[in-house]
């Protein structure tokens, strides 16, 4: 293939790429003032939509005549990226008329936007890694999110759990996935006859006298809100993971009939908890950040790191219950 023909072919491919994919995060407006309503455009945020957009001819006609500067969303191109929201200029009156976006004003006068994206999702990954592997990774510098993600991809990190909380911006959300584990903490001695001073628990009856419960699983509380530019999430989170218990054998001295002292073995559960107290964070939307690290794992020789990520989410609207009153004209 000649050089001229090759350059021509490459230029045609470039034109096809530009025509088939929207420019990432590009958003055009008609100017600083809305030509339809005569009001100045304001700065705000809008969700980024990836892939080939579905064209609604009726909506496009209405947009051109009724809300040309709503800018309810931004086309991000064919290839998805971490960026989920973009800063845009919009006309408040256009956006109020746009069915794709609604504009509401909170009590303090700050504007909040409700599109098909109405909430923030916060996820925390409990990642367990061998301490020796972490030490090797830290020889080239501090352990960061990128190194932890690479360890996970190489099979050197295990995800213990991944609790996720979804709540509107500025609201608190919680998730709890636990089971109650009930176990005895006190025993009642039964009478038995024995001639030896040491017997197995199977040969001597100890009846549980009191019980206690421990929740095993994960709990998480988080409150988050959008930053002013809509590109980051600020918030605070606390979480705890309680793992299933290890049973350890203990001994107890009891008195059998005739005053004989006996040593009885019994099993007692030991629970390991990985806890994170209330911790503040600031995370770019769609990115993963290191929340905490170096926490002791259940198995010696391992350490646990917590990775946090945020993304846009949608909370489905609650369906209104059907009215029990009969319609007019019926009995």
pLDDT, tens digit, 9 for 90 and up, residues 234-279 = 999 999 999 999 988 888 777 665 667 777 778 889 999 999 999 9
- Contact between 160 and 174 (Cβ < 8 Å): no
Give the pLDDT confidence score for residue 159 in this predicted structure: 92
Span 117-122, mean pLDDT?
77
Q: 117, 134, 159 — which closes off a domain? A: 117
Do 228 and 192 fall within a single domain?
A: yes
pLDDT given at position 137: 83
Per-residue b/e over 237-269, b at no fewer than 16 CB within 10 Å?
A: bbbbbbbebeeeeeeeebebeeeeebebeeeeb
Beta-carbon count within 10 A of 281 CB? 20
Q: Is the pLDDT of residue 117 over 50?
A: no
Are both 200 and 285 inside the same structural domain?
yes
* Inside any domain, residue 110: yes
The residue that leads in pLDDT, 279 or 87, is 279
Which pLDDT does position 274 carry in this prediction?
A: 94
More confident: 121 or 191: 121
With a cut of 50, say whether residue 328 has pLDDT above it.
no
**Domain identity same for 135 and 85:** no
Q: 10-14, 82-86, 303-307: which range is least confident on average?
A: 10-14
- Domain check: are 299 and 162 in the same one? yes
Question: What percent of the chain has a predicted confidence (pLDDT) above 90?
Answer: 29
Q: Do 166 and 284 share a domain, yes or no?
A: yes
Residue 88 covered by a domain: yes
Residue 222 has pLDDT above 50, yes or no: yes
Q: What is the CA radius of gyration of the chain?
A: 31
Distance of CA 321 to the CA centre of its chain: 30
More confident residue, 294 or 258: 294
| Count of structural domains, the chain | 2
Query: For position 81, what pLDDT does the model report?
Result: 61
- In this prediction, residue 314 carries a pLDDT of 64
Of all residues in the chain, what percent carry a pLDDT higher than 70?
A: 70
Q: Which of these three, 82, 117, 152, is where a domain ends?
A: 117
Instruction: Return d(Cα 68, Cα 36) in angstroms, integer.
Output: 8
Do residues 34 and 181 both lie within one domain? no
- pLDDT for res 221: 95
Confidence label for 88 from pLDDT (cuts 50, 70 and 90): confident
Report the distance separating Cα 34 and Cα 90, nearest Å: 8
**What kind and span of H or E run contains 220?**
strand 206-226
**Which pLDDT score, from 0 to 100, does residue 72 have?**
84
Cα–Cα distance between 221 and 172 in angstroms, integer? Answer: 7
**Judgement on whether residues 196 and 297 belong to the same structural domain of the protein:** yes
pLDDT band at 45 (very low <50, low <70, confident <90, very high): confident
pLDDT for 330 beyond 50: no
Domain shared by 87 and 156, yes or no: no
Is the domain of 246 the same as that of 108?
no
User: In the prediction, which pLDDT does 177 show?
Assistant: 94
Same-domain check for residues 89 and 13? yes
| Single pTM value for the model | 0.58
Domain that holds residue 7: 3-117
pLDDT for position 68: 92
Pair (49, 142) in one structural domain: no
Please compute the mean of the pLDDT values over residues 308-327 and round it to a whole number.
62
Number of H helices, E strands in the chain: 5, 16
Mean pLDDT for the chain overall: 75
pLDDT in tens, 127-177: 999 999 888 888 877 778 888 888 888 888 899 999 999 988 888 899 999
> Does residue 134 belong to any structural domain of this protein?
yes
Identify which has the larger pLDDT, 196 or 124.
124
* 157 and 68 share one domain: no
Does any domain span residue 325? no
Q: Final residue of a domain: which of 89, 117, 145? A: 117
Report the pLDDT averaged over residues 104-131.
62
* Residue range 278-293: mean pLDDT, rounded: 90
**59, part of any domain:** yes
């Amino acid at each position: 293939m000649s050089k001229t023909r090759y350059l021509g072919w490459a230029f045609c491919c470039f034109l096809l790429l530009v025509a088939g994919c929207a420019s990432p995060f590009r958003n055009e407006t008609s100017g600083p003032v809305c030509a339809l309503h005569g009001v100045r455009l304001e700065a705000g945020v809008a969700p980024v939509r990836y892939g080939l957009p579905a064209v609604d001819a009726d909506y496009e006609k209405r947009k051109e005549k009724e809300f040309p500067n709503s800018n309810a969303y931004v086309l991000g191109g064919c290839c998805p990226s971490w960026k989920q929201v973009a800063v845009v200029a919009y006309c408040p009156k256009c956006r109020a008329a746009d069915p794709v976006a609604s504009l509401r004003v909170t009590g303090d006068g700050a504007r909040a936007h409700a599109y098909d994206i109405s909430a923030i999702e916060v996820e925390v990954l409990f990642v367990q890694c061998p301490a020796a592997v972490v030490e090797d990774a830290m020889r080239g510098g501090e352990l960061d999110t990128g190194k932890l993600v690479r360890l996970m991809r190489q099979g050197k990190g295990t995800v213990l759990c991944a609790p996720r909380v979804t709540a509107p911006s500025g609201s608190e959300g919680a998730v709890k996935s636990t089971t109650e584990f009930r176990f005895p903490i006190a025993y009642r001695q039964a009478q038995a006859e024995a001639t030896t001073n040491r017997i197995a628990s199977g040969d001597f009856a100890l009846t549980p006298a009191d019980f206690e419960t421990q929740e095993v699983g994960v709990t998480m509380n988080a409150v988050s809100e959008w930053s002013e530019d809509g590109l980051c999430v600020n918030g605070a989170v606390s979480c705890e993971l309680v793992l299933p218990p290890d049973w350890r054998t203990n001994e107890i001295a009891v008195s059998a009939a005739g005053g004989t002292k006996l040593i009885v073995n019994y099993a007692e559960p030991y629970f390991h908890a990985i806890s994170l107290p209330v911790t503040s964070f600031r995370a770019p939307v769609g990115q993963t950040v290191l929340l905490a690290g170096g926490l002791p794992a259940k198995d010696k020789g391992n350490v646990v790191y917590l990775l946090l990520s945020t993304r846009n989410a949608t909370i489905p609207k609650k369906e209104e219950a059907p009215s029990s009153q009969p319609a007019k004209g019926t009995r």
